[in-house]
Amino acid sequence: MAAGMGSREAGFRLNDPVFIDESLLLLRDQVRRFVEREIVPHGDAWERAGKIPREVFHKLGAIGLLGMQHEEEYGGTRSGALASVVFGEELSRSTYGGVTASITVHTDMSASHITRVGTPEQKARWLPDLIAGRKVCAIAVTEAGAGSDVAGIRTRAVRDGDDWVINGTKMFITNAVYGDIVILAARTAGTETGARGISLFVVPTDTPGFKVASKLEKHGWLSSDTAELVFEDMRIPAGNLLGEENHGFYAIMRGFEHERLMIGAFCAGEGARAIELTLDYVRTRKAFGKTLWEQQATRQKLADLASKVAAIRALTYQTAAAIDAGQSASRDTAMIKSLAPEILHDVVHDCLQLHGGTGYMRGTPIERMARDARLLRIGGGATEVMLEEVAKRL
């Protein structure tokens, strides 16, 4: 059995919410089998390579797992928020955060903008290849001076006849090195600043003027490629404008709500897997004549961590169910993003501590998870920014 997972029947498992139906249980089992068969045996090699093979996207597309955000007429299944949460949670249990990031940036954070605000012609042009995994998508919003503050972006697009001419830079862009399509945010309203005047564009990465300035070396998420991008007089057709001109900020915010929900799923899955790995370890590792599990401090620490993971998982699933029922969830997704990564950070580092020196060694799942978890407190909106988002909605 692969080292990254373990038996589906054994170990620490949280109960599913009562509203999870048979189709979602089947989806969970399908993703779990894919993770065990196609990700865990190869994850270490992908970490060393700094990317996951294109074949992974092909295989996911072939079994319908890249189209849950998209309409059936383009090859998708339009499965809803709960399905996305199940998908993200099971991917994260692989213990390879970079793999989860690369796949879900494609499925849930970039190509989904085409479905949300694209025209029928744009959907027909780009979605079939993205849903089938023939092309890989990225989202380029963040800049060196504009991360959590999206309104501060400076990349500019100027209309010139039937084209848009784009100049600027983007930073920390996942899937940008080996991807094929980038959903790009740029300022389009002259000297307008702030949230107004931002638009979205679909940009093929082979467009003249599109340049990968550098492939970035990260602390964690090693198997996802991340880049700094530069655009130098890059021309794209006017038809590549995605959604309404100057209204891209609001589309980005809608996308962020789903991204924050997915981060809750990542934290729930990774946190549960960290506890499962640690339970396996402390029940066999002996110290002072007893197993670590027989030490009261160990048992109580893991009980506390398990309770916290169960809480963020419940909030994530309940929020997804509310979204599927048509309810607004901007406050709840901000709560998820402010809370879940902080809890995951504590979980993985406390679990690493319980592994002792073994947990500090490269190549062990718990060491990798501790590195990977750090980014979730920053990416998708830093914890401090999310707390302000929650406060505004109290």
Please list the active-site residues: 259
Residues 31/90, Cβ–Cβ less than 8 Å: yes
User: Rounded to the nearest 10 degrees, how much is the dihedral formed by the CA atoms of 267, 270, 273, 275?
Assistant: -50
Which residue has tokens 């550098």? 214
SS3 235: strand
Amino acid occupying residue 390: V
The overall longest dimension of the chain from CA atoms, in Å, is 79
Which residue has tokens 């027909």? 124
What are the Cα distances from residue 132, in Å, to 6, 27, 190?
A: 29, 18, 38
Residues 6+ apart with CB under 8 A from 7: 1
**130/137 Cα distance (integer angstroms):** 7
**306/288 Cα distance (integer angstroms):** 25
Q: Is the CA virtual torsion 87, 202, 337, 345 positive or negative?
A: positive
Which spans in the chain are helix H? Answer: 22-34, 43-49, 54-62, 81-92, 97-104, 112-117, 120-132, 248-282, 296-324, 330-355, 365-373, 383-392
Which of 122, 140, 139, 136 lies closest to 61 in space, CA to CA? 136
**185/376 Cα distance (integer angstroms):** 22
Residues 6+ apart with CB under 8 A from 358: 281, 364
**320/333 Cα distance (integer angstroms):** 9
Residues 200/241, Cβ–Cβ less than 8 Å: yes
The pair of three-digit structure tokens given for residue 107, joined into one six-digit string? 């499925």
The pair of three-digit structure tokens given for residue 26, joined into one six-digit string? 């089947």
